[in-house]
Amino acid sequence: MRFIMMRVLHSVALLAGVSLLTFLFLRLAPGDFFADLRLNPQVSAQTVAALRASAGLDRSLPLMYARWLKSVAKGNLGFSLAYNAPVAPLLWGRARNTLLLTGVATLLAWLIAMPAGVASAARRFGIADRLIGGGTSLLLATPELLLALGLLALAVRTGWFPSGGMVSVAVAGLSLPAKIKDIALHAALPVTALVGGMVPVLVRHVRASMLEALQAPAIRAARAHGITRRRLLFGYAFPAAANPLVSLFGLSVATLLSGSLLVEVVMSWPGMGPLLLEAILSRDLYVVIGAVMFSTVFVVMGNLAGDALLYAVDPRIRTRS
């Protein structure tokens, strides 16, 4: 219990630190939301100053931070100048879309990578290993952007998949199953792009830790006891190889929110990516900070989840006396 308390306290301190740094850096960067207005000769300097003052941008950093904290306490996370609305609901809607995309992609990527990595390690330098190794190298060498654009081109040429957005125009009139189908069709391409980016890295990790686990003396002993090859791979080596993979899984949860920014922008998926991009370009201060905070929360939770999972998976950690 005390351990968990400590972890929560650490996390809160971490969040406070990250928010402070983000504030500081955004303030240090030149310009603000009204910088473009200032260039407009038809708008007087007084008007711009008044606008800045009404948005609270003329305050000192500590004061701004304090007001932001107050807003966080209220559950608003500040105010978006571009959308003229509180940040929290805005972010939450977008984050949900991103999570849908990245969650499905992460799950799929692991489901593909685990058997592929095991098969690759089962016969090192065998045919399967060479094929999988070649495939992952190719995918690794392909920039995610190129992959996304290629898929987009495919969608446009063939018309099999919608080429952007998350729902069809007429979605409101559809029944629930039809709605789900519609979203799935829209999600297919971005998910594929994300999976294509994740799988090669995961396969290499699975393969490497399986190879290491297969080297263990315990495997040699089990072989000498006549354990079948299948059990050796899945009953002995895979559990032994799980540790680094579980940690990796925790990390991949941590990047759920930020992982798909590029793909979302290219495929115009209404997630955090486009929102964050616009917010940064227009210096919509609180939206940027809010997005960073969301990601930080995920990093912290991902790590906690990884630790908890490790605890569940590895008896050496679980039963340490």
Partner 1 sequence: MTYVGTAASETAWTRAAANGPLLEVRRLTVDYTAHQAATRAVSDISFDIAAGEALGVMGKSGCGKTTTALAILGVLPNTASVHAGSIRFRGRDLLSLGESELRKVRGSEISMIFQEPAIMLSPVKRAGDQVAEVIRAHSGKSWRDCRREALSRLAEVRFDCAARVYAAYPHQLSGGQQQRVAIAQALACGPALLIADEPTASLDLATQLEILDLLQDLRERLGIALLVISHDSGVLARVATRVIVMERGTIVEEGEIERVFNQPRNAYTRSLVTVRPSLRAVADNEPRPQPRLEEPLVKVRGLSKRYGPRRWRKTFSVQALTNVSLEIPAGSTVALIGESGAGKSTLAWCLLRLEPPDAGEIYFAGRDLLKMPRQEFAAIRRKIQLIFQDSAQALNPLFSAVEVVSEPLDIQRLGAKAERRARALDLMEQVGLRAAWADRSPLEFSGGERQRLAIARALTLEPDLLILDEALTGLDLPIQAEILDLLGELRAARRLTYLYISHDLNLIAQLADEVIVMHEGRIVERAGTGELLRCPRHPHTQALVGARVEI
* Chain residues that interact with partner 1, rule: CB under 8 A: 1-3, 6, 216-218, 220-229, 231, 235-236, 239-240, 242, 314-316, 319-321
For residues 240 and 301, which CB has a smaller minimum distance to partner 1 in the complex? 240
For residues 3 and 170, which CB has a smaller minimum distance to partner 1 in the complex? 3
Give the three-class secondary structure for 187: helix
For residues 182 and 314, which CB has a smaller minimum distance to partner 1 in the complex? 314
Report in angstroms how near the CB of residue 210 gets to partner 1 at its nearest.
Answer: 14
For residues 212 and 314, which CB has a smaller minimum distance to partner 1 in the complex? 314
Give the three-class secondary structure for 86: strand
Contact 194, 101 (CB under 8 A): yes
Structure tokens at 298: 């995920």
| Terminal-residue alpha carbon distance, the chain | 17
Would you give the DSSP letter of residue 124?
A: T
Report in angstroms how near the CB of residue 261 gets to partner 1 at its nearest.
Answer: 37
CA distance 250 to 227: 32
Report in angstroms how near the CB of residue 7 gets to partner 1 at its nearest.
Answer: 10
Report in angstroms how near the CB of residue 269 gets to partner 1 at its nearest.
Answer: 40
Report in angstroms how near the CB of residue 224 gets to partner 1 at its nearest.
Answer: 5
Structure tokens at 309: 């999972």
State the angle between helix axes of 285-313 and 61-74 in degrees (0 to 180), rounded to the nearest 10. 60
Structure tokens at 132: 């999988």
For residues 115 and 315, which CB has a smaller minimum distance to partner 1 in the complex? 315
Strands 85-86 and 79-80: antiparallel
Q: How large is the C-alpha radius of gyration of the chain?
A: 24
For residues 157 and 225, which CB has a smaller minimum distance to partner 1 in the complex? 225
Report in angstroms how near the CB of residue 228 gets to partner 1 at its nearest.
Answer: 6
Contact 237, 214 (CB under 8 A): yes
